[in-house]
Amino acid sequence: MPAQGIIIDGRFEDWADVAPIYRDTRDDQLESDIDFGDLKVASDSMRLYLSFEIGVERNLQNDNEIVLYLDTDNSSQTGRTVAGIGADIQWAFGRRVGTAHISGDTVRLHQENIGLRQGPTVTSTKFEISLNRNSMIKWVPLFPKDSIAILFRNEQDGVQDVLPDAPRKLEIVLSNQRPVQYTPIPLGRQDPRHLRVVSYNVLFEGLFERPGPFMSILQALDPDIICFQEIWNHSAKETADLVALMLPDAPWYAEKSHEGVIVSRYPILDSHPTDVEQGNLWALIDLPDEQFAVDLSLINAHPPCCEDNAGRELELDAIAAWIRELQSPGGRELIPGTPMVIAGDMNLVGYARQLEILLAGRIINQERYGPSHLPDWDGTALADVMPYHTTGREAYTWRSINSYDRSFSPGRLDYILYSDSVLELGNHFVLCTSEMSQEELTAAGLVVYDTAVASDHLPVVADFIFPVPAMSDETAEMEDQE
């Protein structure tokens, strides 16, 4: 079936009109709790897309023995013989490694060899992936034909469940329809009065160690407020001074934690770590009264990475508790209706509930951080900006850069969340120069920046539309006269 604009973003609304190509028998697994369900398939001339259910919450890139077998020439005479197909490619999700059986050779595969995309990066009962149909190994196309066969197996302590059930062979004819053509997202604001927030993990002091690409990127983005992560060895003043050299059209103010720096065109009225032992920083930004009716409450977040679920949950709980206290009487209570934004590299690669801590204030460690609290002013959850690349085809904000990270597929780790009861969202996107046309790059003063030159994270951009400032009596009288 044609892909119809499917994007690997960990959401499944774009699969709604795709009927399952196979529904695996429920409760047919052996001793494992992984139980395959519906499989959906879509394709275009560039990529193969799969959506599949596993029946239990797991992290696809860890903690499982699910293996995908693809007979890419739909011939049982080539590849590895598995359950009646000749598998030319196999990919072990939990071990993040694959194998290609090409022309009699066995070749180890990494995720970039097959252009693998996966979502979500957190635990789920359902996942979506895509593969690059134009991938080649040793100059041999991995997808030489338009007809393929697919097999999933859970190989935890033996074969526990199979999709499709034996003796069924699941053959699929791929579409050669051109990918959906998106109108590129412009880099500029929709209105110059919108406030632009950028989140950018600069990777190991990259802003100072490799300033060239960051200067071009920041000049192209023209931010009002930047949440930098991974600035450890330079002060707030050093960071503000460097940004002022890159963007000299305004004074810059900054506050720092041990995980990053908030840099702002506007003065910072107050700041404090959300927990004194952690590196997530809150600031109250003094927005100009003539342009904005209110100030901005902002948190720059960078909780722990990778398998440190406990540490990440503690830090996210602290953020949720801090927002609750900002809205409670006493202390640093905000003026009701003060817009709130949380931006940063959230490292959400563990439990799905961790995003709910931020969005819905669902605190896990309540003995330490107190009760849960819906964080928006109207008693609802915060909103997720959910930006896409300017090309509209991808949603990832991080891609591999070194040998350890190389096994992980590109994923969405960087977020901007906001209180949509008092803020509207304007332009928003992820800047990925490698996907932009030469015309777009030239117009923006950019070139293609490799991850080793700038960062393995991409900058995330969101413009916010604030409440209209209250008019003075004199201004209102003048407008009435007009």
Q: Are 368 and 459 contained in the same domain?
A: yes
Q: Which two tokens stand for residue 250?
A: 């305004």
Q: Is residue 276 part of a domain?
A: yes
Do residues 116 and 91 make contact, with C-beta atoms less than 8 angstroms apart? Answer: yes
Q: What is the dihedral of CA 310, 315, 122, 436, to 10 degrees?
A: -140
Q: Is residue 259 part of a domain?
A: yes
Pairwise CA distance, residues 176 & 1, whole Å: 10
Q: Are 201 and 158 contained in the same domain?
A: no
Q: Are 203 and 166 contained in the same domain?
A: no
Q: Are 252 and 364 contained in the same domain?
A: yes
Q: Is residue 419 part of a domain?
A: yes
Q: Are 117 and 242 contained in the same domain?
A: no
Q: Are 370 and 451 contained in the same domain?
A: yes
> For the chain, which residues score pLDDT lower than 70?
1-3, 401-404, 450-452, 470-482
Find residue 170's DSSP bridge partners. Answer: 150
Q: Are 333 and 455 contained in the same domain?
A: yes
DSSP assignment string, 53-83: EEEEEE-TTSS--EEEEEETT--TTSSEEET
Q: Are 427 and 346 contained in the same domain?
A: yes
Q: Which two tokens stand for residue 264?
A: 């702002």
Q: What pLDDT, on a 0 to 100 scale, did the predictor assign at position 151?
A: 97
Q: What pLDDT, on a 0 to 100 scale, did the predictor assign at position 329?
A: 86
Find residue 101's DSSP bridge partners. Answer: 106
Q: Are 289 and 145 contained in the same domain?
A: no
Q: What pLDDT, on a 0 to 100 scale, did the predictor assign at position 404?
A: 64
Q: Is residue 178 part of a domain?
A: no
Q: What pLDDT, on a 0 to 100 scale, did the predictor assign at position 478?
A: 42
Q: Which two tokens stand for residue 318?
A: 């602290």
Find residue 255's DSSP bridge partners. Answer: 262
Q: Are 126 and 213 contained in the same domain?
A: no
Q: How many domains does the chain contain in total?
A: 2
Q: Is residue 188 part of a domain?
A: no
Q: What pLDDT, on a 0 to 100 scale, did the predictor assign at position 2?
A: 66
Q: Are 120 and 32 contained in the same domain?
A: yes
What are φ and ψ of residue 47, in 5° steps?
A: -140, 155
Q: Is residue 472 part of a domain?
A: no
Q: Is residue 248 part of a domain?
A: yes
pLDDT tens-place string over residues 395-425: 999 998 666 678 899 999 999 999 999 999 9
Q: What pLDDT, on a 0 to 100 scale, did the predictor assign at position 480?
A: 47
Domain stops at, among 173, 207, 223: 173
Taking each helix axis from N to C terminus, what angle separates 353-360 and 309-326, rounded to the nearest 10 degrees?
10
Q: Is residue 477 part of a domain?
A: no
Determine the structural domain holding residue 25 and report its residue range: 13-173
CATH number for the domain spanning 392: value is 3.60.10.10
Q: Are 121 and 216 contained in the same domain?
A: no
Q: What pLDDT, on a 0 to 100 scale, did the predictor assign at position 193?
A: 94
